[in-house]
Amino acid sequence: MIGTVLMERYRLEELIGEGGMASVYRALDQRTGHRVAVKFLRQEFHNNPEFLDRFRREATAASRMSHHNIVNLLDIGDDPKTPYLVFEFVDGKTLKEIITDQGRLPQTTAVQITIRILSALRHAHEAGIIHRDIKPQNILVDRQGYIKVSDFGIARMVGTNTMLDSEGKASVMGSVHYFSPEQARGETATVSSDLYSVGVVLYEMLTGTVPFEGETPVAIAIQHVQVAPKPVRALNPAVSQAVENVVSRAMEKDAKQRYPSALLMAQALHAALLAEKEPTQDTPVFPAQKAQEKRYASKRIKRRNRLLLVLISILLIAGLAFGGYYIYRDIVNGTLAPLLIAETEQAAIRLAERAGLNPKVERVSSDEPVGMVITQSHDLGFAMHRGDTILITVSSGPVRKPVVQVAGLIRSEAQRALEQIGLLMMVTSTVMDESPAGTVLSQTPEAGKEMEAGEIVQVVVSGGQISVPALTELRQQDARSLIAKSGLTLGALSSVEMEDPAQHGRIASQYPEANELVMAGTPVDLVLYVLPGTQTPVPAATGNGGN
């Protein structure tokens, strides 16, 4: 199919993906010069009503959405014999590939990615669409650091029934590692189901592993229903308690205990990042005598308070008798300023109007999400009159900033440099290079490119380049020491029997071999000569290769 031109417009260039249901090609839009992705339903499913229906549902769902964090539909094929959809082309990696390559991600990066996923889902949910298959494989990270949610192929329109298979039973859709408990039970997916899956994705980003594993899909599904996942901080102590709390609530077994919406979950994550420390409570300890004195003092205070309450009651009655009109006027006309900060613009306006106030909106650029209230003219609880104006300052979006040059810097220095201008860094790969280990070799986007605060700069980092020393014939202790000094690590230790006592404990062979170029930290496997009947020495549990 390479070279085929569709609709006299899209020229197929390369097959870039193939799944159980569809094949995806990169194509050139000859009208605009832009690259696009063309998704074809596989030939063997053209006469299968179930797969045709799923393909049409993806088109219907995609056509109802347009969002910067969603892979947007651009066109629909006009050939009924060969169904295909044209999407924007995302040049990058899946989130699953990044987690597989890098392991767990820094907390701030993981949370920012999750907020963008939630932004996409909020848009979908408001359009009446449940994704039902949120997983890292369906989250794309392009070379500019933008997050895109893809594959609404099994999305369900709110109000429709679960799709039935040929036997009349609810089909098991999605990926079982990210199933919500209700999906695992075969029930209809809801907004809350998508948020559970987002919680699992965040769990995996923070820990480098999915919460549940099993030998069969059924075994994993049962754990989603019955088993509590291991706490995030038990696997990654660097995660804050506030962020762990958000993950825990998102992954509640009872859907009613989860966040009611994608927006509220995103706001909770934003607040968790702002929380610098957990609140503490000090419990004072009093000597026995002081504690008794405190009880007597407490009784005196209570008696005094009762007398004051009687006097206040008398004064209130007198006030009602002689000035009821004025009190009534003040009560009816008085109100208190509500808390509007961190609310969306529309929610803040509703809260202000509910309090009887006249909200006036002004917009300023900030690093807060677009449409979020960042300041208000009157603090929470401020006494106001109904009809008064309360000024609401709303973020008009992050300030765009040029990316600084980080290629050539050590990884930690590069991360600090980007964080100082509000950008995040993600290591996409580590490669062997003559540069010192940890040196940033390249960055995407390049220096000078403008990005929004909170977006991600992807970097490739050097793993160093070390020549493996010759270790054969050395004694085990000397070989370990040389491995550590070379910047390598001790790998597997095995043995081969040798009758010569003089060779006992010496290195028989090594892997990688001497003078081979490898990255820093590469493990070196050793084979030792041992006398017959002697057990292989166990490597010392040290980080530098042993003694």
- List Cα–Cα distances, 528 to 461, 475, 482, 504, in angstroms: 35, 9, 16, 8
DSSP E strands in 98-188: the ranges are 129-130, 139-142, 147-149, 156-157
Residue spans of alpha helices (H) in 127-190: 181-184
Q: Could you read off the pLDDT of 415-428 as tens digits, one per residue?
A: 999 887 778 899 98
Q: Is the pLDDT of residue 486 over 70?
A: yes
Residues belonging to the active site: 133
231: pLDDT strictly greater than 90: yes
What is the number of other CB atoms lying within 10 angstroms of the CB of residue 167?
6
Residues 169-212: tens digit of each pLDDT = 333 334 899 999 998 888 888 999 999 999 999 999 999 999 99
The residues, any chain, with a CB within 8 Å of residue 255's CB and separated by 6 or more, are: 180, 181, 182, 190, 192, 193, 196
Structure tokens, 73? 């539909």
Which of 28-32, 232-236, 318-322 is predicted most confidently?
232-236
Q: Which domains does the chain have, with CATH numbers?
A: 1-89 (3.30.200.20), 92-277 (1.10.510.10), 338-395 (3.30.10.20), 400-462 (3.30.10.20), 466-530 (3.30.10.20)
pLDDT level of residue 394 (50, 70, 90 thresholds): confident
Which residue matches tokens 């260039």?
Answer: 13
Reading phi first (left if > 0) and then psi (alpha if -120 to 50, else beta), residue 30 is in alpha
Which residues on neighbouring strands pair with residue 232, listed in sequence order?
none
pTM for this structure? 0.62
Confidence of residue 154 (pLDDT cuts 50, 70, 90): low
Structure tokens at 395: 């973020």
Q: What confidence category does residue 235 fall into, taking pLDDT thresholds of 50, 70 and 90?
A: very high
With vertex at residue 148, the alpha carbon angle to CA 146 and CA 149, rounded to the nearest 5 degrees, is 160
Q: What secondary structure does DSSP assign to 343-408, as a single string? A: SBHHHHHHHHHHTT-EEEEEEE--SSPTTBEEEESS-TT-EEETT-EEEEEEE--PPEEEPPP-TT
**What pLDDT was estimated at residue 174?**
43
